Structure 1
């Protein structure tokens, strides 16, 4: 059937080609009418136009009648249509405007809903906060409470608060409030750390140090090695402040107070360290590349001892006023006390004091030589009463047994007497601190000085020889003989008192009779000193050798008085040498004598 309709349509299309618009083809009534026309006969088909005209006229008549009878309805319909058209236009424009505003309105609605949700969440949080107000207030007051505990010294409570805040940080590290609390608590913890270290920099006793180190360990800010370094640094700073407060105007006062402060406080620091920390052998390296904690303390003690020795050396160079013996005793006691903690430094003291003693003696001998040179420049050979057959009041021998009496013959020659007196003063100063190791240096220094004295005597002879009278020549020979036979042997005896040959031999491990093989050890070479004066001295087979004298080392009484009348002391030299009082020494007075 469908195939027949398709064929009919194709036939009709070919027959009525271009007879009707293309738009009619889609009208089903048109297709049905064409089908009906194709079924008409010729007669009926011829009458079809008339029928259609009549039907058309009838329809037009009916339309006019309908329009006439219902014209008001049509008018109202047109009006309504017009109004509806206008209303639809307004609606359409309003709908367009509404559609344009709907996205913004929707965005604002979504924002409102979001704000409403946030307000609701905030309200719920505020309600929860109000319910937990007490607990939250305690947490928020932790920084203030921590600061109060630290400033009032309640370190135990402060450490508990710090530990609680650490636990809070682990649980709620993302919360800004907790971050602020942690930050403020860390600031208070830093303040507590500074206060604890400041306590170590003060005069803290062992219980305080133990408590402070316990707090520092619980704070866990230092490793064990760092904690030891911090302890030693803090205590060292305190000791340095004490030493810096000692006045430095007087070298002896400064070094004695330094010795006392170091001996007391440094020993306390070492005791505190050993009570707080346990060290292994500092010389044994730790296993596994760990820090040698024992070496930290050992190095610190060595540094402090080195600083003390530097201070001692500096003050010794400044001069301690001839009180080396007292100072040496204090230093030795200091070193002995440190031997109990394994820091005995007495072996380093000997070279320092030996050097200072040698330098002091060298300066004193040089001053004696300079004074002798001045005296010789002003000296005039005169006939003394003893030379002219006069009498000199006898000088009472020393009342102290075991002391050396200077040769009285030197009183006739003022330059020699003054020189000997100055040398004896140097010997008396050296006797207070006289290391055996200085035997060679002292002997060589004295021998060099005596050679200079000999050269000065030769200078005097060359300058005055042309003007010598026979009496003055005789006096000059006696001057040289007194120098060779009285002064030099007596100085050798003094050297034997300062450096006993038996003691030197014992130290060297040789017999006392073999000491002469070690030239310049505890004696001066008289022959070498007198060699330039051989042409003046009378010829003798041998100079009398001075027998070895084993007497006490009391040299303070070895003084001269060149007064012809009753000798009276004009100056007393009382030295403060660790509680030892020296005997008064009489000053040599220059006295001129005239020949009768």
Structure 2
């Protein structure tokens, strides 16, 4: 564009009196036209307006012609222009809206790029997952495989899977899938633990117990002490289930089955424990209290089981097992002997139990005999003739007739039914006691029998006191015979029975003393009849007895009342009241002494061994 100088400005001011548009200044044709005007002459400048008018008119004419000739084009052009203007307006508004939405679009593009990257990353992961699908599937199937192995009893494979999962947890503990797999595998391991412990509650043999305990050790859940306790608890539960299945209706059947099952199964459990745990391993040196406590676990459990068995035994024995106490004692002793092989011999604890039961049973039977005697005496009358015990029978001591110690009850007691019934009850108690007759209860049995005889004596005295005023001469005679049979027949027979049950030689051998010194230790298998005799002597008439030897009558007081004075120096009276003294030796002396012993309630078997007939009291007699 040509620059308009000051001269041209003045020309412009003179030509255009009014201001012209400023936009003309920028037009190049306007500058060139001014340059042409400035170079023209005056004539040309004078003619210039006309030329311009003509040119203008010519242009107008051409324009009119062009408009008339191309009016459609102009109309179309106008329409197009209008349409273009309108569209440019729409474009402008759309551009404005576009500009407004460009920030959001930019943000969306960024989000799209980010998501695209995530999708690409995910796609790469999926591709990697697809490439390693087999390995991943194996890992994902571990919980199901673990559960299948546990439920089907494949514990070896289950332990291998659990070990593999523990390694995975250490390497990839932050991965949620691994965490869920670990959790499910732990649940299956807990189920496996319960199954293994449940197997210990069944009748497993030693090889199976070894396998189960090996699995438990490999699971590494329990310490050694806890594993011992868990093993003993499980086996104890199995043993208790077996014991609870034994019927308790019959005490004898229950205790025999309990003995058998405890002897077999408890011994098996102890054997299994010693095979599984090394309490007595000489290669292992105990260090600290832990080893001692582990050994004490088993010791305490064995003591508990033995105490529980003894409790069951005592309960069943108290319920009553009839006359089979000796059989139970033999079984229990064999049970205790078998346990001596494992260092748990408890036979020493059986003796007090059987002693208490035997003594209790004997006392109960004797008391029943006393009660029966009381009932018989309540309805007994001396008017009845002797030998009225119709269908009653006196039971002898159950010893074979060929045995040298066989005792037959006095037949004279059949004339007095209360005495016969009482003796029958006592003999029943003796027969039951004979089957299991420990020597240690000799004094207690003797005391119980003396107490029973004391009660019988009181009953007899009460009967005499109640009926004495109404006694006739015949009844008084019968009552004297009743008391005589009680003192001279019943009591000596009971003494012989006691010495048959508790031989003095055996008691003396156990005590380590001569048999002649047994009386210094109290009534050991020998009844003290003094109290009974003194109680009844007041109601019996005084009786004189004489023995005729070689034509001479000798009174009953041949024994020396004073040990310092010989018997021959003391005068005695015969049946005529005359002084008589006879010193005998040899067999006459033995006969006299034998008859005098009868007056004191003694028989020859009381001074001799019932099996060998050897006198065991010579030292006492000589002293």
**Structure 2 gap ranges (5+):** 1-5, 28-88, 389-395, 544-556, 558-598, 613-623
**Structure 1 gap ranges (5+):** 1-53, 76-88, 388-394, 554-596
Q: What is the distance in 2 between the residues matched to 1:201 and 1:429?
A: 41
* Offset at residue 332 of structure 1 (A): 0.7
* Offset at residue 342 of structure 1 (A): 0.6
Is the Cα contact below 8 Å between 1:496 and 1:548 reproduced in 2?
A: no
Q: Any idea what the Cα deviations from partners look like across 1:184-225, whole Å, max 9, x if unmatched?
A: 211221111111111111111111111111111111111111
* Offset at residue 280 of structure 1 (A): 3.3
- Asked if 1:550 corresponds to 2:609, the answer is yes
Aligned partner of 1:267 in structure 2 is 267
- 1:508 corresponds, among 506, 511, 525, to 511
Q: What is the distance in 2 between the residues matched to 1:69 and 1:479?
A: 179
Which protein has greater RCO, CA pairs closer than 8 Å, 6+ apart?
Answer: 1
- Asked if 1:413 corresponds to 2:365, the answer is no
Q: What is the distance in 1 between the residues matched to 2:13 and 2:461?
A: 184
* Offset at residue 417 of structure 1 (A): 1.4
Aligned residue for 2:538, secondary structure, equals coil
**CA RMSD, aligned part only?**
3.4
- 1:400 corresponds, among 399, 402, 427, to 402
Q: What is the distance in 1 between the residues matched to 2:519 and 2:180?
A: 88
- 2:502 corresponds, among 489, 499, 502, to 499
Aligned partner of 2:314 in structure 1 is 313
Is the Cα contact below 8 Å between 1:398 and 1:405 reproduced in 2?
A: no
Q: What is the distance in 1 between the residues matched to 2:500 and 2:199?
A: 55
After superposition, residues 190-205 of structure 1 pair within 5 angstroms as 190-205=190-205
Aligned partner of 1:230 in structure 2 is 230
Aligned residue for 1:234, secondary structure, equals helix
Aligned residue for 1:423, secondary structure, equals helix
Q: Any idea what the Cα deviations from partners look like across 1:528-576, whole Å, max 9, x if unmatched?
A: 12221111234366524233353369xxxxxxxxxxxxxxxxxxxxxxx
Q: What is the distance in 2 between the residues matched to 1:475 and 1:200?
A: 75
Aligned partner of 1:367 in structure 2 is 368
Aligned partner of 1:339 in structure 2 is 340
Q: Any idea what the Cα deviations from partners look like across 1:395-435, whole Å, max 9, x if unmatched?
A: 9x994332012222222222111211111111000111111
Aligned partner of 1:304 in structure 2 is 305
Q: Is 240-249 or 373-382 further displaced after alignment?
A: 373-382
Aligned partner of 2:428 in structure 1 is 425
Aligned residue for 1:290, secondary structure, equals helix
Change (3 A) 1:124 1:383: closer
Aligned partner of 2:147 in structure 1 is 147
Aligned residue for 1:221, secondary structure, equals coil
Q: Any idea what the Cα deviations from partners look like across 1:508-536, whole Å, max 9, x if unmatched?
A: 23322222122232122101122211112
Q: What is the distance in 1 between the residues matched to 2:290 and 2:111?
A: 63
* Offset at residue 285 of structure 1 (A): 11
Q: What is the distance in 2 between the residues matched to 1:70 and 1:372?
A: 164
Aligned partner of 2:171 in structure 1 is 171
Query: Between Structure 1 and Structure 2, how many residues are aligned?
Result: 481
Change (3 A) 1:174 1:351: same
- 1:489 corresponds, among 477, 489, 492, to 492
After superposition, residues 99-248 of structure 1 pair within 5 angstroms as 101-248=101-248
Q: What is the distance in 2 between the residues matched to 1:276 and 1:69?
A: 121
Is the Cα contact below 8 Å between 2:387 and 2:414 reproduced in 1?
A: no
Q: What is the distance in 1 between the residues matched to 2:128 and 2:387?
A: 123
Is the Cα contact below 8 Å between 1:383 and 1:475 reproduced in 2?
A: no
Change (3 A) 1:516 1:264: same
* Offset at residue 130 of structure 1 (A): 1.2
Is the Cα contact below 8 Å between 2:359 and 2:444 reproduced in 1?
A: yes
Is the Cα contact below 8 Å between 1:381 and 1:476 reproduced in 2?
A: yes
Q: What is the distance in 1 between the residues matched to 2:539 and 2:434?
A: 35
Is the Cα contact below 8 Å between 2:149 and 2:155 reproduced in 1?
A: yes
- Asked if 1:326 corresponds to 2:383, the answer is no
- Asked if 1:455 corresponds to 2:458, the answer is yes
Q: Any idea what the Cα deviations from partners look like across 1:256-308, whole Å, max 9, x if unmatched?
A: 101101000111111111111110399x9943442521111111111111111
Aligned residue for 2:253, secondary structure, equals helix
Relative to the length of structure 1, the TM-score reads 0.74
Q: What is the distance in 2 between the residues matched to 1:124 and 1:223?
A: 48
Is the Cα contact below 8 Å between 2:505 and 2:609 reproduced in 1?
A: no
Q: Any idea what the Cα deviations from partners look like across 1:98-127, whole Å, max 9, x if unmatched?
A: 676555434323322221111000000111
Q: What is the distance in 1 between the residues matched to 2:289 and 2:339?
A: 31
Change (3 A) 1:398 1:160: closer
* Offset at residue 374 of structure 1 (A): 1.2
Q: What is the distance in 2 between the residues matched to 1:160 and 1:398?
A: 73
Q: Any idea what the Cα deviations from partners look like across 1:475-510, whole Å, max 9, x if unmatched?
A: 211211111111111111111111111222222233
Is the Cα contact below 8 Å between 2:325 and 2:435 reproduced in 1?
A: yes
